[in-house]
Amino acid sequence: MVQKAARVCVVGAGVTGLVAIRELVAEGHDVQAYEKTDDVIGIWRNVYESVQLLTSKRATSFKGYPMPQTTPQFPTGQQYRDYIRWFAKEAGLLRYIRFNTAVVAAVPVDGGSRGWDVTLSDGTTEHFDALVAAHGHLWAPRIPDVEGRFDGPMIHTSQYRTPADMVGNTVLVVGSGNSACDMVTDAIASGRQALMSLHRPTWFVPQSFFGTPRADLTYQPHFPGSSGDELSHLMVKISVGEPSSYGFPQPSDEDWTARPPTFSTLVPYWAQRGRVKAVPQIARLDGRRVLFVDGTSAEADTIIWATGYKAPVPFLPEGSLTYIGDFPARKVGGLLSADFDNFYFSGMCSPRGGAPHNYGRGAETLAKLVTARFALGKPLSTTIFADEAASGRMDWLLAHWVVELEAAEAKLR
């Protein structure tokens, strides 16, 4: 097969856009990225002040561009923003980005097989051979529809900035993920009591073992099969304990690999000191009283929804994209559209670990997919990957995700 360079449009120039640009350019493609803001920091433009990275600086660094040695093991939000900007400049990626320009519409020509007509916020339209959605999946809040009325403030974590956004003495945080834990710790640090409503039980895990960030430990690859995961699970039980021991719902051992754990030792710490209490799912709201599905209730002054996000693709024709749950239908580890030809996703997944490192690895496969598509001359979804079922999956264990990517790359050779 003879390789053909493609003219590729990348929508968004945050972390997921930057890694896509780099790998596509390295593959020899003609790349133009559009970023609606004047910066490359993406979602990190609008995060709460107390945010810290949950993964180490080594695991979070872009390939070939380590963070400075003076950076702490777990950087602050501001340090991470500065690092992303530095990387974009040092890697020579700014020349491929047109800032303050949004993609307002992308229309597939012959289902994408003859490319994409991309309309920009300045009213112009450009034609591209391929389209890469790198617009992020952490910007459209998913808030459950709960019966009743709450008389206090209710905000989603995407709207939260500082404890000044909290009102009163008791804050109810809905969710059990990493952002939920940050909300709980901010509430407690500002002198409040916290309630934590969990949809399902979760394992709370430390960010480090033996003083070393978990992602930097090297023992797991030396253990056969799943024994490395089992050892990690045992270490969590020894160091943090069973969630039931500090009054939280007890997850099963199978949940250890089936669902993402929660990176927090502060929630168990404060739970043992009576500053945060686990409560069931919300059944109904009644003024300042919150009624739970088990028939119990509690008073709350502020509700914070740490309930995640939907992942719409707003620049595609309405109704044209298949969604499985709240997420687009994709193949090949979340990289390849199941609906359109020459349409790819960068970062439309959450493999557990540092984002630039993980999304960078995905971008390597993405670039190979684009190359293979133009060498083959036929849609990948209905040829090479025709036997793969479309999925709305977002969460992968990183090691399992990489195996899937390597298997896909092997099919392209």
pLDDT number for residue 281 = 97
Does one domain contain both 271 and 338? Answer: no
If phi > 0 it is left, if psi is from -120 to 50 it is alpha, else beta; for residue 110 that is: left
Does one domain contain both 155 and 244? Answer: yes
Does one domain contain both 109 and 251? Answer: no
Domain membership flag for residue 18: yes
Does one domain contain both 160 and 267? Answer: yes
Domain membership flag for residue 2: no
Asked whether residue 1 carries a pLDDT value surpassing 50, the answer given is no
Domain membership flag for residue 79: yes
Does one domain contain both 353 and 400? Answer: yes
Does one domain contain both 242 and 173? Answer: yes
Mean pLDDT, the chain, as a whole number?
A: 93
Does one domain contain both 164 and 301? Answer: yes
Per cent of the chain over pLDDT 90 is: 80
Domain membership flag for residue 1: no
Domain closes at, from 255, 278, 305: 305
Owning domain of residue 274: 146-305
Does one domain contain both 154 and 240? Answer: yes
pLDDT number for residue 352 = 74
Asked whether residue 226 carries a pLDDT value surpassing 70, the answer given is no
Asked whether residue 225 carries a pLDDT value surpassing 80, the answer given is no
Domain membership flag for residue 219: yes
**Using one digit for the tens of pLDDT, what is the confidence trace for 345-361?**
999 998 877 777 889 99
Specify whether the CB–CB gap between 306 and 174 falls below 8 A: yes
pLDDT number for residue 75 = 95
Q: What is the CATH classification number for the domain harbouring 372?
A: 3.50.50.60
Domain membership flag for residue 293: yes
- Label residue 218 by pLDDT band (50, 70, 90): low
Low-confidence winner among 9-23, 188-202, 208-222, 323-337 (lowest mean pLDDT): 208-222
Asked whether residue 333 carries a pLDDT value surpassing 50, the answer given is yes
Does one domain contain both 233 and 351? Answer: no
**Using one digit for the tens of pLDDT, what is the confidence trace for 50-88?**
999 988 899 899 999 999 999 999 999 999 999 999 999
Asked whether residue 194 carries a pLDDT value surpassing 50, the answer given is yes
Does one domain contain both 158 and 193? Answer: yes
Per cent of the chain over pLDDT 70 is: 96
**Using one digit for the tens of pLDDT, what is the confidence trace for 116-175?**
999 999 999 999 999 999 999 999 999 999 999 999 999 999 999 999 999 999 999 999
pTM of the model: 0.92
Asked whether residue 253 carries a pLDDT value surpassing 90, the answer given is no
Domain closes at, from 247, 273, 305: 305
Number of domains in the chain: 2
Does one domain contain both 238 and 348? Answer: no
Domain membership flag for residue 166: yes
Domain membership flag for residue 233: yes
Rounded mean pLDDT, 315-328: 96
Asked whether residue 275 carries a pLDDT value surpassing 60, the answer given is yes
Domain closes at, from 305, 331, 358: 305
Rounded mean pLDDT, 387-408: 92
Does one domain contain both 130 and 19? Answer: yes
